Structure 1
């Protein structure tokens, strides 16, 4: 019998063997897997991207190992229809196929949006790092949308104390949000818009001279500390009825210091969530 003639069902399934040490595992899986997929945009249209993927399941104390090949099987089966609801269903599919109590799927990928320059209207694409995480168990499902958005920030103190000019730098606004349900309609575009509105100015891939002049002066007219940016983001997220909970981190890569400045808010329920709990 040649190697090609050996049937899969005749080979020993080592992962399915029992384990007698009595130690359950919270997560067993694969990470750092890069995979092409189609992700929905805010209008439901599919966009091509490449995700870095982490997938895991819990492992009972009497099971030796997880069948790692099934992670890629599930990912490939769902790769061309990924949105909030689909990722939640993919995590549940993984959980059931692996016979586990809990499954987790995390996808991190560049998400491109077309932006128009503020004066000339010339178009270009900006990329944003986005993360979509789904957890499925036999009690409930959890979904988290994450974005990391670059902005320009002009220092209010520098502007106030200087005879001319003010130092500015690249800032990063990171938002993680738990939608109330996968069907709320909340998407990356919404979080990106909130983050960009909090900075002194958004960034653009392409600017002509009139655009650069506009962006420079607009930023100067709206100086913000990291404290200002994070409070503006929190205010917007806190009143969004589609969101159950959020966390925020803002970092400025300071241009006149050899350190960064940051502010952060841990997981916080929105106003509507607090009201529903109180009521």
Structure 2
């Protein structure tokens, strides 16, 4: 029988430089995670995880394997909800830390119907969960930001006004970071609802699938609803100001101009830092 060898734990050794580190951990760890859809069904997505804890000034390092172990355990047996306090509290306990942070970048699929025929196909939206906690187990400061990137169509009001025929239009993106209300009994912010609300700010939504009657509808809807990026971001601001469960937000609209070699862009934020 081979006797177990006791190996030195270098990470636990003392550091004498007196520098407390804000975040130490792993980045771009790929993992499948399970999410709850608005309809109650579960969706498995391919996520890139960034996970970290704060490191005290007296400790040389952290045990990096514990991040991967926890992410793997949750991937197999748990659902990643909008309230990630239990996940972060577990990380602080495992790594004997006073703060923890996790980011999960993923593509989330929503079944989307064409506007006229009603035929549907899944459409992917770039999303991110960004959660952090600081505290001693008695008093804790928790923050959760839900980010979505929503593709839209926008048509230029100036082009429509000055042209005898048509107007230039292009695909654009609304990128939103929503700081969620994490108090007890706060409304749930579903990704599906956030996407639908932001699409209302566009000249017209974009779709994964269109037949000719649908394409006619989309083209005419854009033409009747021209918007600059300034219009889109102001309308998106009005949507998020009144959105239940959102305390603050950061917005960016970028249009991939069809008649220029540059993009049009606008940004705005309210009650949001970081």
SS at match of 2:171: strand
SS at match of 2:200: helix
- Shift in Å, 1:267: 4.0
Query: 1:94-243, aligned counterparts within 5 Å?
Result: 94-138=91-135, 139-181=140-182, 183-243=186-246
RMSD: 1.5
- Shift in Å, 1:133: 1.0
- Shift in Å, 1:42: 1.7
Instruction: Spell out, residue by residue over 1:109-148, the C-alpha distance to the aligned partner (whole angstroms, 9 max, x if none).
Output: 0000001111111110110000011101113111111100
Instruction: Spell out, residue by residue over 1:34-72, the C-alpha distance to the aligned partner (whole angstroms, 9 max, x if none).
Output: 111111112332101100111011100010001111111
CA distance in 2, matches of 1:45, 1:83: 13
- Shift in Å, 1:32: 1.1
SS at match of 1:20: coil
CA distance in 2, matches of 1:57, 1:135: 9
CA distance in 2, matches of 1:78, 1:67: 18
CA distance in 1, matches of 2:111, 2:212: 19
SS at match of 2:89: helix
Instruction: Spell out, residue by residue over 1:129-186, the C-alpha distance to the aligned partner (whole angstroms, 9 max, x if none).
Output: 0001110111311111110010010111100100011001111001111111175211
CA contact (8 A) 1:170 1:253 kept: yes
The two structures have a TM-score, normalised by structure 2, of 0.92
CA contact (8 A) 2:198 2:239 kept: no
Q: Structure 1: which 5+ residue stretches go unaligned? A: 270-279
CA contact (8 A) 2:187 2:244 kept: no
CA distance in 2, matches of 1:248, 1:62: 40
CA distance in 2, matches of 1:16, 1:56: 17
CA contact (8 A) 1:175 1:191 kept: no
Instruction: Spell out, residue by residue over 1:250-272, the C-alpha distance to the aligned partner (whole angstroms, 9 max, x if none).
Output: 11111111111111113436xxx
Q: Structure 2: which 5+ residue stretches go unaligned? A: none
- Structure 1 residue ranges (4+ consecutive) displaced by more than 6 angstroms after TM superposition: none
The two structures have a TM-score, normalised by structure 1, of 0.91
CA distance in 1, matches of 2:197, 2:233: 10
The question of 1:259 aligning with 2:240 is answered no
Query: 1:85-96, aligned counterparts within 5 Å?
Result: 85=83, 87-96=84-93
CA distance in 2, matches of 1:199, 1:259: 20
> Number of aligned pairs?
264
